[in-house]
Amino acid sequence: MESVLTRYRNVTILVAVLFAQILGLAIQVKRTTDNESSSLIRIWALDLVTPLERGIVDAQMGIAGIWRNYFYLRGVRAENRQLKQQIERLQMEQVRLSQDAEQARRLQVLLGFKEQFVSQTIAAQVIGSSGSEQSRSIFIDKGTLDELAPDMAVITAEGVVGKVLHAYKSTSEVLLINDQTSGVGSILEQSRLQGVLRGTVSGDLLLDKVMNDEQVQPGERVLTSGGDQIFPKGLLIGTVRKSSRGSEAFLDVRVKPAADLGRLEEVLVITQKEDRTPEAAEAGPIRAVDILADRLPSVPVKPLSDKPATTNGTAAPNPLAKSTSSANTATKLKPKAPAPQTVFDAPPDTAAGEQAPPTEAPQTHATPDSEPAKPETPPQ
């Protein structure tokens, strides 16, 4: 026996090592939750790898900062001018969106809708990735010490990124939405069709469970539906790239992610969200005559300025998908109602959290003395 083992020493060791690993895999599969031993291995590996990655990121950011702040100042004046113009444009856009949001909020109050609001976010730096095509995940430099927990939504100003999969002490693993095991409840902005967004092996996004007999147009925006209980409703995920008939009963809808998932640097983790019905105070005083007037057809009101926010006839790129969504909802319900000409105060609670939530509808409040102006509707 001993001579056999000595003779086949290499094969014996190979079989033993493989057997140990297969046993370990079987144990992990059997247990639905991440068991302690595998968690420990992950923690050790992360403790080994992430300090190096963090060091590289810090060094890279330091060098980039020196370059940007001291050497690369060419074109700053022109850029400043451009940005000022952009601010003016966005301010006008904000006024329009505030009005639309206000209308939507009033309707929500009337209909008793409950809405999920992003109430707190934490900014985090991306320090690495899994480096594998079979596992599209990234590591961020915030963990349980910063009150991060699994299943928290991760976003950028551009759109949805993924969710926290594992939260360790000072790092967290984020599962990207283009991973093959990922699934996000989604809704198409215009057609209101719902589906599940999944990743593919090549890192594309596929909107699944949309029936073959439906029409989906390229360019349509895809938002979170809120059905997965992870992502608040109305966050921008991306736009439809192409749509074709699938092999089964469902359409093959490919989606281009709004966030550049391959080049993420900073992300926001939604650490707190709350379910609440928009309060009547937020919506401002509502009078029966306003509701009645809103329901009547009217002549469209002239824009506030000759060069409104939507110059060139197209809306500026807007990460506030929720606002737009709300606006669209409002528009659908009241197609002929003009926006009330109201001046809104800045929201008192937009500074909640470290960052202003990029997805929340502008939380504007009507001032007590600024009632919405009644739209002038011609008598029928």
Partner 1 sequence: MAITYTSKEQIEVYRFGLPATIAVPLFAVVAQSFLPHWIPFFTIFDLPLLIVIFFAVARRNPVAGLLTGAAIGLLQDSLTHQPIGLYGIAMTVVGYGASSLGVKLDVENAGSRFLVTLFFFAIHEVIYFSVARGMIRLGLHWSWSHELTSAFANAALAVLLFHLLDRLKQRT
Cβ atoms of 289 and 374 within 8 Å: the answer is yes
Looking at the Cβ atoms of 134 and 229, the one nearer to partner 1 is 134
The 10 Å Cβ neighbour count of residue 238 is: 24
Cβ distance to partner 1 smaller for residue 262 or 368:
262
Q: Least CB distance from residue 369 to partner 1, whole Å?
A: 52
Tell me, rounded to whole angstroms, the distance of Cα 262 from its chain centroid. 16
Smallest gap from Cβ 25 to partner 1, in A, equals 4
Question: Residue 351 region, left (φ>0) first, then alpha (ψ -120 to 50), else beta?
Answer: alpha
Least Å distance, CB 11 to partner 1, is: 8
Q: Which two tokens stand for residue 157?
A: 């100003």
Q: How far is the CB of 193 from partner 1 (least distance, A)?
A: 24
Give 104's contacts (C-beta < 8 A, 6+ positions apart).
326, 327, 329, 330, 361
Tell me how far apart the alpha carbons of residues 112 and 100 are, in angstroms, rounded to a whole number: 18
Q: Name the minimum Å distance from CB 132 to partner 1.
A: 5
Listing DSSP states for 162-217 in one string gives EEEEEE-SS-EEEEETTSTT--EEEEETTT--EEEEEE-TTS-EEEES-BTTS---
Outline where 112-180 has alpha helix (H).
Answer: none
Beta carbon nearer to partner 1, 135 or 318: 135
Enter the tokens of residue 122. Answer: 């934490």
Per-residue DSSP letters for 49-99?
HHHHHHHHHHHHHHHHHHIIIII--TTHHHHHHHHHHHHHHHHHHHHHHHH
126 vs 309, which CB is nearer to partner 1?
126
* Rounded least distance, CB 250 to partner 1, Å: 16
User: Given the complex with partner 1, which of 197 and 352 has the nearer CB atom?
Assistant: 197
Classify residue 280 as left (phi > 0), alpha (psi -120 to 50) or beta.
Answer: alpha
- Looking at the Cβ atoms of 117 and 139, the one nearer to partner 1 is 139
Instruction: For the CB of residue 153, give the shortest distance to partner 1 in the complex, in Å.
Output: 17
Residue closer to partner 1, measured from CB, 126 or 258: 126
Which residues sit at the interface with partner 1, rule CB under 8 A?
9-10, 13-14, 17-18, 21-22, 24-26, 28-29, 38, 41-42, 44-46, 48-49, 52-53, 56, 126, 128-135, 137-139, 165-166, 173, 175, 179-181, 200-203, 262-264
